[in-house]
Amino acid sequence: MERLARDVRELPKAHLHLHFTGSMRPTTLLELADKYGVRLPDALTGAEPPKLRATDERGWFRFQRLYDAARSCLREPDDIRRLVREAAEEDLADGSGWLEIQVDPTSYAPRLGGLIPALEIILDAVETASRDTGLGMRVLVAANRMKHPLDARTLARLAVRYADRGIVGFGLSNDERRGMARDFDRAFHIAREGGLLSAPHGGELTGPSSVRDCLDDLDAHRIGHGVRAAEDPRLLKRLADRQVTCEVCPASNVALGVYEKPEDVPLRPLFEAGVPMALGADDPLLFGSRLAAQYEIARRHHAFTDAELAELARQSIRGSAAPEDVRQRLLSGVDTWLTS
Ligand SMILES: [Zn+2]
């Protein structure tokens, strides 16, 4: 069949939802654990990705514990540089032409000499990897909703201060069931005033109301996940009218039990409603699949045609913070892919 001949890895796209530690190659994690004598939980050393179910708090806690164990293997600037370079290489192999990687520098601060040194090491690593690999890369600084809103404000000010060093957005991650989005409105106000995109997580573990909160209280330009908006047609229309891009991560949703099967992820309802999407891998280290695999899910489980996959790629590019010349180059690459 001609339709299946096109390789989604060759479709130019932007990757807007990838967490820092979660981007690590499993083999790199094993090497770093060995280097530092860290005994990893069995779930991180097997050939298969761990079995997770984060729809209850215990499951989410287990997911966070695995994430923390992996992060504890990143101790030196060299480890950070390696992680970022490999994330760029993996993205390029999957057809990414633009990567926005998400990080809470607070979690790396204790091992890297404090918050500001940690952020500078990360930004330097991103700049170097981008230059060496040719992949356009930027950073989203994400606050942790399990921490105090004042910490988020500090982080927002820092992100704004380093905006010219490659930070393009401000996020909010961790358990949506904890804390209200509006507790973080001041932090997001600081970020937006400073010219950063507002890109909080919402509509993953909790329903449409958490997406509405991101729009109403955090004036979100983009939503991390947002898939649960599919449960509310009026909200879908609002996202479509405002052209708020949802960073949809199908493999992550299934791995964490948000949906039972790949075909249950509401890609069709969002697409048909005109909600722009940017497919993302979230945490490939824990979920076992990277960027191109998300487009494969759309093709295989949701019967997206090549023209529709090309449109998804365009939506990811338009939703990105990439400069105009990069966008035009990637968009014309999408057209070339489709006519090839
Ligand atoms: Zn995420």
C-alpha to C-alpha distance for 161 and 66, rounded to whole angstroms = 32
Whether pLDDT at 277 is above 90:
yes
- Residue 107: pLDDT band by 50, 70, 90 thresholds? very high
Task: Output the pLDDT for position 177.
Answer: 77
pLDDT digits (tens, 9 = 90+) for 144-172: 998 999 999 999 999 999 999 999 999 99
- The residue among 69, 137, 140 whose CA lies nearest residue 103 is 140
Tokens 């299946």 locate to: 4
Task: Output the pLDDT for position 21.
Answer: 96
Above pLDDT 90, what percent of the chain? 87
Tokens 């090549």 locate to: 306
Distance 18 CA to ligand 1 centre (A): 7
Tallying the residues shown for the chain, one arrives at: 340
| SS3 letters across 180-195 | CHHHHHHHHHHHHHCC
Active site residue 127: no
C-alpha to C-alpha distance for 106 and 108, rounded to whole angstroms = 5
- Residue 250: pLDDT band by 50, 70, 90 thresholds? very high
Instruction: Give the tokens for residue 15.
Output: 């990757």
Instruction: Give the tokens for residue 300.
Output: 């295989």
Distance 36 CA to ligand 1 centre (A): 27
Active-site pick, 176, 204, 247, 296: 204
Which three-class secondary structure state does DSSP give residue 140? strand
Angstrom distances, CA of residue 152 to CA of 16, 61, 148, 188, 217: 21, 21, 7, 8, 15
Task: Output the pLDDT for position 62.
Answer: 82
Q: Are 201 and 239 in contact (CB under 8 A)?
A: no
C-alpha to C-alpha distance for 227 and 236, rounded to whole angstroms = 10
Please state the rounded mean pLDDT for residues 226-244.
98
Give 247's strand partners: 224
Distance 246 CA to ligand 1 centre (A): 11
Characterize the bridge pairing of strands 167-173 and 136-144: parallel
Residues near ion ligand 1 (CB < 5 Å) are 282
Task: Output the pLDDT for position 4.
Answer: 56
What DSSP designation does 214 have? Answer: H
Higher pLDDT, 285 or 175: 285
Distance 300 CA to ligand 1 centre (A): 23
Identity of the amino acid at 191: A
C-alpha to C-alpha distance for 126 and 147, rounded to whole angstroms = 26
Please state the rounded mean pLDDT for residues 56-83.
90
Q: Are 275 and 248 in contact (CB under 8 A)?
A: no
Above pLDDT 70, what percent of the chain? 99
Identity of the amino acid at 95: G
Directed axis angle between helix 149-161 and helix 115-133, to 10°?
50
Please state the rounded mean pLDDT for residues 17-31.
96
- The residue among 19, 98, 6, 35 whose CA lies nearest residue 309 is 6
Lowest mean pLDDT among 1-15, 179-193, 286-300: 1-15
Mean pLDDT rounded to a whole number for the chain = 94
Distance 307 CA to ligand 1 centre (A): 27
Identity of the amino acid at 175: D
C-alpha to C-alpha distance for 184 and 178, rounded to whole angstroms = 12
Which three-class secondary structure state does DSSP give residue 176? coil
* Beta carbons within 10 angstroms of residue 58's beta carbon: 9
Distance 325 CA to ligand 1 centre (A): 28
Phi, psi of 337 (to 5 degrees): -60, -45
pLDDT digits (tens, 9 = 90+) for 140-151: 999 999 899 999
Task: Output the pLDDT for position 47.
Answer: 73
Identity of the amino acid at 158: L
- Residue 176: pLDDT band by 50, 70, 90 thresholds? confident
- Residue 53: pLDDT band by 50, 70, 90 thresholds? confident
133's enclosing H/E stretch is helix 115-133
Distance 328 CA to ligand 1 centre (A): 27
pTM: 0.96
